Structure 1
Amino acid sequence: MTDEPELDLLRRADPVPTGDPRWRDRPLDARAEFRLRRLLESAPAPRRTARRIGGLATGLAAAVTAVVAVLVVVVSGAGTTPAVAAPVALRPQAGSRTVPLADVAGAAREAAARGGGPGTRRGSHVMTWSMAMEAGPGARPPVTLPEEHLTRWNADGSGSELVVATDPRHPGEPVISDTGGSPHTVADGEVLHRAAYPPGTLPPYGRSGTEPPDSAQELRAYLSQVYGCACAGTPELVDTLASLLQDWTPGAQATAAIDELLAAAPGLRPAGTVTDRLGRRGQAYVHDAAGLRRMLVLDPADGRVLGIEETFTRDQPEYRVKAGDVMSYQAWMD
């Protein structure tokens, strides 16, 4: 038997259509650049790490021009407006009560049992602050790129995306854009990207064919199948959950499953009450690894993930960043 029937089936299935927004070239953000550097500097690693490097290398080859955009995103020269300063890292209130993650997961299950809220839906609404940085001689100072993303997908595979330049700390002030061929400043609220996708752009329920499950055990298997994450370590779990939350707005049951996974994650410790960058009060949980501190902010009443922040725990002179600088922050909204 030849391979032709299988190849014909693959061509007809068209698993990577050119118009699919999931396969657009995207710039490597600071998180990807920093982690790639960590991987390249590390000693020879087990096969799992080697596969991750291979995947990153493929992504790099597919986004060469996007990498250039990241490296030149700092605006300079006469007549330009200074870039938005990096936000200050969130600080839990001294002496505030800490809530164990197991208690938050229990509250989430109780909220799910009461019902009445919306179910899991495809798409997300998120505010992001991402640091763009350079390395090497003559590297320019890092800048933070604040954006608001709204993505919606429908059952027929149609959807829309909207990306707006914004910084809620300084409404109305210019922020940075690297669109249109050269870096430039744009007014707060300017549309950076808008797209509408016809029916059939995505299969039902997105990449996996199914929405995230409502049990922790099934969710772990789902993360492995859809996102390729064994999630044996807490950093990998947190990073993959951030990707999940970009794709989906979980309902109460799925939120409880997420909290149960987090409650079982080693080294994720409660840090107290914190007010996030959208003015919401939540409980902070932190984990330190490989020069980064990940902080999750959860609503203790229903377990929703309000935000994830990454800060440097060590100076990185080559990137001109110091311990305590915020590398990225994501704040999810309903």
Structure 2
Amino acid sequence: MSKHGPEDPLVQLRREARELGIPESPSPEETGVELDSADDIIARLRSRHGPILEPPAAEPDSPVVDIDTGLLRRRRRVGLAFASGLVAAAVVGLLVVQPWSEQAAVADEPAVLDFEYAAAANIAFSPGRDSAATLLELSAAASRQTSGVGSGPIQHVVTDNWFAELTADEEKSSAGQVIPTFRETWLQPDGSLTVLEHDGKPLSADGRTDADVERPSGVSSEMLPAGTVDPSASSDLPLEAGPLREALFARSGCESGPPSPATAACIVQAVIDLHSANVVPSEVSAAIWQVMAAEPDLRLLGDVTDRLGREGVGIAIVPPDSPQFRNVLIISPVTGALLGTETVLIAEQPDLDLEAPAIFSFTAYVTTELVGPSSLPSASSE
């Protein structure tokens, strides 16, 4: 028992470790910890969900619809299917890959971000801290927002992404390649969706860029028909904690249950899904962060500078059905708005040309606003 009175179990553990001479941030090798191999992970996934599906090959640049979000994306050869819906959503709609570039100015692959309580090199095993108090602070920040996000019937979302590109060959089932993608979506009241995509800017060596991207000629343009995406998916959510939690489970296709790693992962999946094409009102964000504050398995990674150079706070979960990944939400401490999402590979997978820890995908939200019909791209951009 602590002679200083009650204290957080994690603080007590760290204090006792220091007294025994154990390093503050030991590596797995130093402590004799052996992370699960990819074979172990795949065997566990198969025992729970059956065989991991092999998706059909698609022609280069053939349009497909994201089964998790309803968004159109461009499949550039072969996709990779995972048992976890959250990871599938990241692959299907978002981006990819690995850091540690030795170039001084421009990185070939995105660097893992350094968080206050989880340095990039330690992100696979850094425990982070309890997130409840910080999530309540983020909820309060969202509640204080009085300025709107524009006016108009159309929801305009702009994101800067890195997508996974996976290729199949005889020697390896897939190999990773970095594809920067700048995406704009316009969601109209009838549920139709216009999607524009073009190559984004290269990242700097620290994994960051800026949002000043001009739309070049030859942009790929697609229109999804009315009813494709629910335009009121976020605005119609209940604000009371209990009903909202159930609505988020329904959104992510999860069963209701008491707080657990699985429920926390499902809520994070629903948050990512909601933000993919919908403009989420600040009062809805405030209510979501309150619901998440009651999930003890969500971990606080602390302060971070996001991909666009903005100050954010990282909230993370390792999905129990995809323990090779750590999924991170980056939230503004000023506005309480979601700034971005990160999917970090934290355990090796032989079929991926990535060395963990590595960025498997990320999305940075550049703009989320309500606009009028005049902002819709012209047919000349197709």
> Could you tell me the TM-score, scaled by structure 1's length?
0.63
Which of 142, 165, 175 pairs up with 1:132? 165
1:218 and 2:243 correspond: yes
- Equivalent residue runs for 1:69-108 within 5 Å: 69-70=77-78, 85-93=108-116, 100-108=131-139
The equivalent of 1:330 in structure 2 is 363
Amino acid at match of 2:236: E
Please state how far the C-alpha of 1:91 moved relative to its aligned partner.
0.8
Contact kept, 8 Å, 2:158 with 2:183, in 1: the verdict is: yes
1:193 and 2:227 correspond: no
CA RMSD of aligned residues (A): 4.0
Partner Cα separation in structure 2 for residue 130 and residue 213 of structure 1: 33
Partner Cα separation in structure 1 for residue 318 and residue 250 of structure 2: 26
Partner Cα separation in structure 1 for residue 234 and residue 155 of structure 2: 12
The Cα offsets for residues 95-150 of structure 1, whole Å up to 9 and x where unpaired, read as 99989443343443354255332389745322211222346653474111111211
Contact kept, 8 Å, 1:284 with 1:298, in 2: the verdict is: yes
Partner Cα separation in structure 1 for residue 223 and residue 58 of structure 2: 26
* Number of residue equivalences: 261
Contact kept, 8 Å, 1:282 with 1:299, in 2: the verdict is: yes
DSSP-derived class of the 1:44 partner: helix
1:144 and 2:167 correspond: no
Amino acid at match of 1:317: P
Partner Cα separation in structure 2 for residue 168 and residue 92 of structure 1: 22
> Could you tell me the TM-score, scaled by structure 2's length?
0.56
Which of 336, 339, 344 pairs up with 1:306? 339
Amino acid at match of 1:42: L
Which deviates more from structure 2 when the two are superposed, residues 241-250 or residues 215-224?
215-224
Contact kept, 8 Å, 1:148 with 1:165, in 2: the verdict is: yes
Please state how far the C-alpha of 1:38 moved relative to its aligned partner.
5.8
DSSP-derived class of the 1:279 partner: coil
1:257 and 2:282 correspond: no
Amino acid at match of 2:231: G
DSSP-derived class of the 2:239 partner: coil
DSSP-derived class of the 1:116 partner: coil
Contact kept, 8 Å, 2:135 with 2:292, in 1: the verdict is: no
- In structure 2, relative to structure 1, the CA distance for the partners of 1:188 and 1:69 (3 Å cut) is farther
Contact kept, 8 Å, 2:141 with 2:336, in 1: the verdict is: no
Partner Cα separation in structure 1 for residue 256 and residue 217 of structure 2: 37
Which of 154, 158, 162 pairs up with 2:188? 154
- In structure 2, relative to structure 1, the CA distance for the partners of 1:249 and 1:38 (3 Å cut) is farther
Amino acid at match of 1:109: A
Contact kept, 8 Å, 2:343 with 2:361, in 1: the verdict is: yes
Partner Cα separation in structure 2 for residue 106 and residue 70 of structure 1: 42
Which deviates more from structure 2 when the two are superposed, residues 311-320 or residues 218-227?
218-227
Amino acid at match of 1:222: A
- Equivalent residue runs for 1:1-334 within 5 Å: 42-45=45-48, 49=49, 60=55, 69-70=77-78, 85-93=108-116, 100-109=131-140, 111-113=142-144, 115-118=146-149, 122=155, 124-134=157-167, 137-139=170-172, 141-169=175-203, 189=216, 191-196=218-223, 201-202=226-227, 205-206=230-231, 211-230=236-255, 233=262, 234-289=264-319, 290-333=323-366, 334=368
The Cα offsets for residues 229-279 of structure 1, whole Å up to 9 and x where unpaired, read as 337512332223211110312111111122123222332211221111111
DSSP-derived class of the 2:295 partner: coil
Partner Cα separation in structure 2 for residue 64 and residue 164 of structure 1: 20
Partner Cα separation in structure 2 for residue 210 and residue 255 of structure 1: 10
DSSP-derived class of the 1:318 partner: coil
The equivalent of 1:175 in structure 2 is none
Please state how far the C-alpha of 1:308 moved relative to its aligned partner.
1.2
Amino acid at match of 2:196: L
Amino acid at match of 2:222: A
Partner Cα separation in structure 2 for residue 112 and residue 119 of structure 1: 17
Q: Unpaired segments of 5 or more residues in structure 1?
A: 1-34, 73-83, 171-186
Partner Cα separation in structure 2 for residue 194 and residue 204 of structure 1: 17
Contact kept, 8 Å, 1:269 with 1:286, in 2: the verdict is: yes
Percent of aligned positions with the same letter in both sequences?
21
DSSP-derived class of the 1:317 partner: coil
Amino acid at match of 2:181: E
Partner Cα separation in structure 1 for residue 77 and residue 131 of structure 2: 42
Partner Cα separation in structure 2 for residue 322 and residue 253 of structure 1: 40
